[in-house]
Structure 1
Amino acid sequence: WAEQELLNLTDNITVTKLALPDLPSSDKHAELLRKAWQTGMLQYESRKFNDNVYLSYISKPDIKRKRELLKIFIVKWILLTNRSYRRLNLLKSRYIKIICKKSYYKKCLEELESQKPALLFCTHQRAINAIAPLEAAKKLGIPTACFIYSWDNLSKATLFVDSDYYLVWSEYMKQELLTYHPEIRSENIFITGTPQFAPYFNDNLKIGHGQFADKFNLPKNRRWICFSGDDTKTSPHDPVYLKQLAEAVRSWNNKEQNQLHILFR
């Protein structure tokens, strides 16, 4: 449905799905530079805004593994001389240059040269694999645009791609983008709202309670509780919460006639 929604939103535009080559294996040197850039940016923002919350966004490695400890040491060593915003951006440039030396970048270049699109659009600024095609497009003079995917992405130093234009949810997010990345020009940022949520307002996608129950073999005579899980970093105690909810529902169902049923997403 996502592709159909995109086509509905772009009735007067030809949208082509490019057949890009298979993704390459990660480059250890590039990954270390990317990790150093992201860690350094969060440390820089913590100093700039005098707020330690940015430090909590730095991913915690598994220190029991020697390889992870070595990565921590290398990242810290890199950041000894790369603490300013300018130096951190140079790190990002080095990371992008490494990617542009890979065969994947060259294949993206060939595909884009063949297709000659008027614009290359990236739907997620965290998409590391989108760096090569975006850089290839720039090399060919093809304009590029990137959508800031989620409301909290900018504060967590996740602008891994560089594009000519940026699409944001709101005026507030536009100001965030200008605050965290002052090199971006205001006139290159466009407020579009949140089109990825458009399907939720599409009545054609709705199905009735009974039809939904039949499709997923769910009990129609029970009231449903939807438990929406998250990843281990955002909500590490989800298993505990789900277990407690299940125990409470089981206890309720043993005593009450109005039965409950948990749907875990």
Structure 2
Amino acid sequence: MAPMLGVLGGMGPAAGAYFAYRLALLTDVQSDQEHLPVLLINDPKIPDRSEFALGRGLSPMPAMRRNLQFLESSGCSCAVIPCNTAHYWYPDLQMSVKMPLIHIVSSVVENLHARGIDGGRIGLLGTPATVNSGLYKDKLTNAGYTVLPYTEDDVLQLCVRPIQAVKQNRLREAGTALADSVRVLYDRGATAVILGCTELPIAHASLSQEALELPVVDSIDSLAVCALNHFRFHVKQPNVR
């Protein structure tokens, strides 16, 4: 059986589809037939990850586990979850299947190193659950980085505004809000800014190059590159739009 990547999407729906799009664009091939086979489940009915992580709402774990097991039983030999907050449950999700799950935060750390950013102060943009859970902070600290501190108002103004705009398909507004947030973090001394929610790369893609000249580290591209490397596919230059 040919190798096949499983993608557990739907968190949000545009993020899963956008991951598949970026995976195809980042693959260095000459024909359709040379691409990596992908099976995408785009399940928007999975309960809200941030709400449950913050002590509210239903657990998303049963639906995520069920979808991953379906991907594995359908022939996938490796899987990714293009949702940063979902990785709060990564240990339990990995235990639910035999195939490896590529960790999105680990892929971002690899991206930082690949770009020659081996230390410094990191600005993180993500959901409140991702920012407050330590999901990124722990791995970045262990890798020698310092994460810029946030107030509760910072999370609402810098992170939630562009994420919610993407979820509501207001992409121009999302891009403007994201550009403002990135500039604030660089003004505070960030060496790099991580788009630590998979809705944020969609907002970033809506901007012209002139609208945001500051570099960002894209968690969707990071995850796609790691998936291609896992299957030994050649990768085009990341961040090609």
Identify the TM-score tier after normalising by the shorter chain. Answer: under 0.3
The TM-score with structure 2 as length reference comes to 0.25
Q: Which has the larger radius of gyration?
A: 1
The TM-score with structure 1 as length reference comes to 0.24
- Report 1 or 2 for greater relative contact order, CA contacts < 8 Å, sequence distance ≥ 6: 2
